[in-house]
């Protein structure tokens, strides 16, 4: 509903206009003081004000003060003393339009609808400008790119979550869909944006270090605790703490996180008094928390406390119309002077459109960065040989039980310098090797880590970096 204010020192004028515009339930004011009080209390979209209120200078000062207090309000001057000179003075004072007091009812309604339409457009433009400025200020790591309906819906939810700056947020989605980007964007658009944003990758931490890393410890809390250390919750005070892959949080620590979410209080390890901080928690996971709850690996009460706002990040295979935009965005980021813009021809873009993108936006970003090391389209196409893969039914990637046979894509472009070619070959080997072992172990992280002889946390980091998924 639109909010209208009618301000005039003549009661009959106020009552008459209110009757004609009754569908909008307008607020009314008979004095300048009443009008300003209404503007302070309500988000007024359209203010219809008498210019002579009761003195001409009072009318002009009302316009100036109203514009200063509420710049988005559309102000229309209403007077029976219409003349070009008074209209010019009113507009100079900040009025947006001019309306004669004696206007037929239907014409008045039409004019008011026109004024409200302009007011709405101005408000939307102001919000878009503020949003754009926030994106630019936040930097490239806080920019979600896309025009597809699914991404636009995500952006609407992000904006809503940013406005509720105390509520926790749960981001769901596959690896590489941009969950941390969304978290940074929520922070950048919120009133907390001037305060810290800290991220913690839960799988990267050994279980014994979780509590001290999140909540800190006091001097003497354990053998090597020679001085007090502040945890991430405290370091992010008045800001945001992003907990990535929250499903890997140990059960023993889940109860302490729940208590913090409910009270904003926590104890440092070895501490005896509670510490109160205002830190917003944004959590993310690519796992099914419902499944973890069923297995007794995740607390149901913590799940419900986290999901005040739930935002699902769509996989790239569902937003393929955004691929050209993403190519342009990452190409500009990694090649700011656009010296290799010519590499991304229609043939190259077509290969990108046909690929299933199991690693989602992260995989696309890495591929764009890799292709910018080449020199011409033929080099690019050679690197992309065997890259695209068909989609199976219902948007899932068709995968065989064993890894695909090596193709020419496994061999880096011979035009690359030796060190770059070696890095590219090792990364492809690592991706294929890990996928094969993970499939053989049914994606059991613990067994896979033991089989290949690395720590579970390191395996998690590799899976995330390489964009691997089931």
- Summarised one tens digit per residue, pLDDT across range 59-75 is 788 888 988 888 888 99
pLDDT at 348 over 90: no
Distance CA 268, CA 215 (A): 5
Average pLDDT on 128-155 reads 72
> Are 305 and 423 in a shared domain?
no
pLDDT at 304 over 50: yes
Q: How confident is the model at residue 5 (pLDDT cuts 50, 70, 90)?
A: very high
Q: How confident is the model at residue 306 (pLDDT cuts 50, 70, 90)?
A: very high
Q: How confident is the model at residue 56 (pLDDT cuts 50, 70, 90)?
A: low
269 pairs with which residues across the strands? 217
Q: Is residue 132 part of a domain?
A: no
Out of 49-53, 264-268, 346-350, 402-406, the most confident range is 264-268
> Are 307 and 361 in a shared domain?
no
Over residues 262-294, the pLDDT tens digits come to 999 999 999 989 999 999 999 999 999 999 999
> Are 98 and 233 in a shared domain?
no
CATH at 227: 3.40.50.300
Identify the pLDDT of residue 132.
Answer: 57
Q: How many other C-beta atoms can be found within 10 angstroms of the C-beta atom of residue 61?
A: 14
The H or E element that residue 283 is part of is strand 280-285
Q: Is residue 464 part of a domain?
A: yes
Q: What is the DSSP string of 112-137?
A: HHHHHHHHHHHHHHHHHHHHHHHHHH
Distance CA 183, CA 161 (A): 10
Identify the pLDDT of residue 133.
Answer: 60
> Are 109 and 94 in a shared domain?
yes
CATH at 411: 1.10.10.60
The stretches of 264-359 forming alpha helices (DSSP H) are 289-294, 300-306, 323-334, 346-354
138 contacts 184 by C-beta, under 8 angstroms: yes
Identify the pLDDT of residue 436.
Answer: 83
Q: What is the DSSP letter of 391?
A: B
> Are 265 and 357 in a shared domain?
no
CA angle centred on 210, ends 358 and 174, rounded to 5°? 15
Structure tokens at 70: 């509420």
> Are 65 and 174 in a shared domain?
no
Structure tokens at 102: 């004696």
Over residues 383-421, the pLDDT tens digits come to 776 565 433 333 333 333 333 333 444 455 556 666 666
> Are 181 and 300 in a shared domain?
yes
Q: Is residue 215 part of a domain?
A: yes
Identify the pLDDT of residue 404.
Answer: 39
Q: Is 401 helix (H, G, I), strand (E, B) or coil?
A: coil
317 pairs with which residues across the strands? none
Identify the pLDDT of residue 398.
Answer: 31
Catalogue the long-range contacts made by 160-165 (C-beta closer than 8 Å, 24 or more residues apart). 160/309, 161/186, 161/309, 161/311, 162/186, 162/187, 162/188, 162/189, 162/190, 163/190, 164/308, 164/309, 165/190, 165/191, 165/192, 165/280
Q: How many other C-beta atoms can be found within 10 angstroms of the C-beta atom of residue 50?
A: 26
CATH at 106: 3.40.50.2300
Structure tokens at 450: 């033991």
Average pLDDT on 245-267 reads 93
Q: Is residue 135 part of a domain?
A: no
Rg (CA), the chain: 30
In angstroms, what CA-CA distances link 418 with 101, 325, 424?
81, 32, 10
Sign of CA dihedral 439, 440, 441, 442: positive
> Are 323 and 302 in a shared domain?
no
Structure tokens at 398: 């068709």
> Are 293 and 186 in a shared domain?
yes
> Are 166 and 290 in a shared domain?
yes
* Phi then psi dihedrals of residue 453, to 5 deg: 80, 35
Q: Is 97 helix (H, G, I), strand (E, B) or coil?
A: strand
Identify the pLDDT of residue 410.
Answer: 45
Q: What is the DSSP letter of 201?
A: E
Q: Is residue 323 part of a domain?
A: yes
Q: Is residue 133 part of a domain?
A: no
Structure tokens at 241: 């703490």
The H or E element that residue 458 is part of is helix 456-466
Identify the pLDDT of residue 390.
Answer: 37
**Strand pairing class (229-230; 216-217):** antiparallel
CATH at 350: 1.10.8.60
6 pairs with which residues across the strands? 28, 48
Distance CA 189, CA 187 (A): 6
Percent of the chain with pLDDT over 70: 84
Q: What is the DSSP string of 238-262?
A: TSEEEEESGGGS-HHHHHHHHHHHH
Distance CA 217, CA 223 (A): 12
Q: How confident is the model at residue 137 (pLDDT cuts 50, 70, 90)?
A: low
Over residues 147-179, the pLDDT tens digits come to 888 998 998 899 899 988 889 999 999 988 999
Give the range of the structural domain holding residue 156, as residue numbers without chain letter: 141-312
Over residues 322-331, the pLDDT tens digits come to 999 999 989 9
Among 283, 312, 341, residue at a domain's last position: 312
Among 352, 376, 398, residue at a domain's last position: 398
How many independent structural domains does the chain possess?
4
Q: Is residue 391 part of a domain?
A: yes
pLDDT at 31 over 80: yes
Sign of CA dihedral 146, 152, 158, 159: positive
Higher pLDDT, 427 or 448: 448
Distance CA 289, CA 247 (A): 7
Q: Is residue 357 part of a domain?
A: yes
370 contacts 348 by C-beta, under 8 angstroms: no
> Are 185 and 296 in a shared domain?
yes
Average model confidence (pLDDT) across the chain: 82
Among 312, 335, 352, residue at a domain's last position: 312
> Are 154 and 289 in a shared domain?
yes
Find the largest Cα–Cα distance for the chain: 90
Identify the pLDDT of residue 157.
Answer: 92
Identify the pLDDT of residue 321.
Answer: 93
CA angle centred on 267, ends 265 and 270, rounded to 5°? 175
């Amino acid at each position: 509903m639109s909010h209208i204010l009618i301000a005039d020192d003549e009661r009959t004028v106020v009552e008459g206009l209110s009757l004609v515009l009754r569908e909008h339930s307008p607020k009314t004011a008979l004095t300048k003081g009443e009008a300003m009080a209404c503007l302070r209390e309500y988000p007024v979209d359209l203010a219809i004000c008498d210019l002579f209120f009761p003195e001409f200078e009072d009318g002009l000062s009302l316009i100036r003060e109203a514009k200063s207090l509420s710049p988005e309000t559309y102000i229309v001057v209403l007077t029976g003393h219409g003349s070009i000179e008074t209209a010019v003075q009113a507009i100079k004072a900040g009025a947006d339009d001019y309306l004669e007091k004696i206007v037929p009812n239907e014409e008045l309604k039409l004019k008011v609808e026109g004024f409200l339409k302009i007011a709405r457009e101005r408000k939307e433009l102001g919000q878009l400008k503020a949003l754009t400025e926030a994106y630019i200020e936040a930097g490239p790591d806080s920019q979600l790119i896309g025009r597809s309906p699914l991404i636009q819906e995500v952006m609407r939810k992000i904006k809503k979550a940013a406005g509720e700056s105390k509520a926790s947020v749960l981001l769901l989605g596959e690896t590489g869909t941009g969950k941390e980007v969304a978290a940074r964007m929520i922070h950048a658009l919120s009133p907390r944006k001037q305060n810290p944003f800290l991220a913690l990758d839960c799988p990267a931490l050994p279980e014994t270090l979780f509590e001290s890393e999140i909540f800190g410890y006091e001097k003497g809390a354990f053998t090597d605790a020679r001085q007090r250390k502040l945890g991430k919750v405290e370091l992010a005070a008045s800001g945001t703490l992003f907990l990535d892959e929250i499903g890997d949080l140990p059960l023993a620590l889940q109860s302490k996180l729940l208590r913090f979410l409910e009270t904003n209080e926590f104890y440092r390890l070895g501490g005896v008094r509670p510490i109160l901080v205002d830190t917003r928690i944004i959590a993310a996971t690519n796992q099914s928390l419902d499944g973890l709850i069923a297995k007794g690996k995740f607390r149901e009460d913590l799940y419900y406390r986290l999901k005040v706002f739930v935002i699902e990040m769509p996989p790239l295979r569902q937003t393929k119309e955004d691929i050209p935009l993403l190519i342009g965005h990452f190409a500009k980021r990694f090649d700011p002077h656009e010296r290799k813009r010519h590499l991304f021809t229609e043939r190259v873009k077509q290969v990108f459109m046909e690929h299933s993108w199991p690693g989602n936006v992260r995989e696309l970003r890495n591929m764009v960065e890799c292709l910018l090391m080449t020199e011409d389209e033929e080099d690019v196409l050679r690197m992309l040989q065997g890259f695209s893969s068909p989609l199976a039914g219902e948007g899932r990637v068709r995968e065989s039980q064993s890894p695909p046979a090596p193709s020419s894509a496994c061999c880096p472009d011979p035009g690359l310098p030796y060190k770059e070619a070696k890095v590219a070959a090792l990364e492809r080997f690592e991706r294929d090797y890990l996928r094969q072992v993970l499939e053989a172990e049914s994606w059991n992280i613990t067994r896979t880590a033991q089989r290949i002889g690395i720590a579970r946390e390191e395996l998690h980091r590799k899976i995330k970096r390489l964009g691997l998924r089931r």
